[in-house]
């Protein structure tokens, strides 16, 4: 039997038990105490009663969420690796595991339960300095992606310290004006990519961990898009691994120079894709 993906497992939890849906919905917005989760479940149960009866009655005022009910659902989600908890003072605080953020958002969005979309953090690896221009112009013109943050990874062995790293000069030039994007550059050290220009081998695990440690910082607050188009073999493979591990959207743009460039969603795969 084929194993289920994180998307499938989390969607099943959200659809099958209403209290777990409330818990995951609340934790998508940030850590919550047990008291806060219990109150959210109570309000949801009361609202369900009102919806069922079509009017307010005395019953919803008597709704109580017991400690065992909360514990049963939170402990189940912890065992599934979807949430985690820690003790702070006299309260237990719960939060989503990093790998659960995107699957939870996707399930809530598809069920019409997520009202506020998270801003986009766009992650790319740029192989050569000259690749900055077509990438920046395409991103400026793109109607599909309007990122708030850019995380750009380069290999130190290719990008010398004096190399100009600036997309701003390419982010203007049409009626839309300059894009307001917070941009961060990260140089992957020579020690883990090898220093020989003609060698493409390197420490893939170390490159993955270097990129992962920066990307997971933005996952709780952003929807992450990984662009696989112009990275080096090492960085592209690392991003493919990131997409699978954290259920992040990964795309490939066939030609930045063409305004009609085809964007293929590599992960997660969808039936509507034009992907081969």
Size (the chain), residues: 276
Pick from 33, 64, 98: which residue ends a domain?
Answer: 98
Q: Is residue 261 part of a domain?
A: yes
Same domain, 171 and 260: yes
Written as six digits, the tokens of 236 are 């592209």
Maximum CA extent, the chain? 76
CA distance 28 to 215: 17
How buried is 123 (Cβ within 10 angstroms: 0-12 exposed, 13-18 middle, 19+ buried)?
Answer: buried
Is the domain of 185 the same as that of 58? no
How far apart are alpha carbons 150 and 224 in whole angstroms? 10
Domain presence at residue 113: no
Please tell me whether residue 83 adopts helix, strand or coil conformation.
Answer: strand
Q: Are residues 82 and 142 in the same domain?
A: no
In a domain, 185, yes or no: yes
Residue 215: its H or E element:
helix 204-215
Clarify whether residues 200 and 245 are in a common domain: yes
Q: Give the domain range for residue 93.
A: 6-98
Per-residue pLDDT tens listing for the chain (276 residues): 356 788 999 999 999 999 999 999 999 999 999 999 999 999 888 888 777 665 555 555 667 788 899 999 999 999 999 999 999 888 999 999 999 999 999 999 988 887 778 999 999 999 998 999 999 888 888 888 889 999 999 998 888 776 777 777 776 655 444 567 899 999 999 888 875 555 557 889 999 999 999 999 999 999 999 999 999 999 999 999 999 999 999 999 988 887 778 889 988 876 554 555
State whether 67 and 138 are in the same domain.
Answer: no
The total number of structural domains in the chain stands at: 2
**114 part of a folded domain:** no
125: which 2 tokens? 């690896």
What CATH number is given to the structural domain containing 157? 3.40.50.10770
């Amino acid at each position: 039997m084929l194993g289920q993906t994180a998307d499938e497992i989390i969607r099943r939890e959200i659809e099958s038990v209403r209290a777990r849906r409330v818990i995951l919905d609340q934790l998508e917005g940030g850590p919550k105490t047990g008291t806060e989760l219990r109150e959210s479940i109570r309000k949801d149960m009361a609202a369900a009663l009102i919806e069922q009866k079509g009017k307010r009655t005395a019953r919803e005022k008597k709704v109580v969420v017991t400690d065992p009910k909360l514990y049963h659902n939170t402990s189940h989600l912890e065992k599934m690796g979807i949430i985690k908890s820690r003790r702070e003072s006299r309260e237990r605080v719960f939060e989503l595991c990093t790998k659960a953020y995107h699957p939870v958002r996707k399930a809530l969005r598809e069920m019409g339960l997520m009202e506020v979309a998270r801003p986009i953090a766009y992650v790319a690896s740029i192989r050569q300095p000259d690749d900055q221009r077509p990438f920046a112009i395409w991103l400026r013109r793109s109607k599909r992606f309007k990122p708030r943050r850019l995380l750009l990874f380069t290999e130190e062995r290719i990008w010398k310290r004096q190399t100009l790293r600036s997309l701003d000069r390419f982010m203007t030039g049409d009626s839309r004006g300059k894009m307001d994007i917070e941009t961060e550059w990260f140089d992957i050290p020579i020690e883990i990519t090898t220093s020989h220009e003609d060698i493409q081998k390197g420490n893939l695990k170390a490159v993955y961990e270097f990129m992962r440690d920066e990307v997971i910082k933005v996952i709780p607050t952003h929807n992450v898009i990984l662009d696989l188009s112009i990275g080096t073999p090492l960085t592209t493979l690392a991003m493919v691994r990131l997409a699978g591990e954290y259920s992040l959207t990964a795309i490939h743009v066939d030609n930045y120079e063409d305004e009609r460039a085809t964007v293929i969603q590599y992960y997660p795969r969808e039936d509507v894709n034009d992907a081969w």
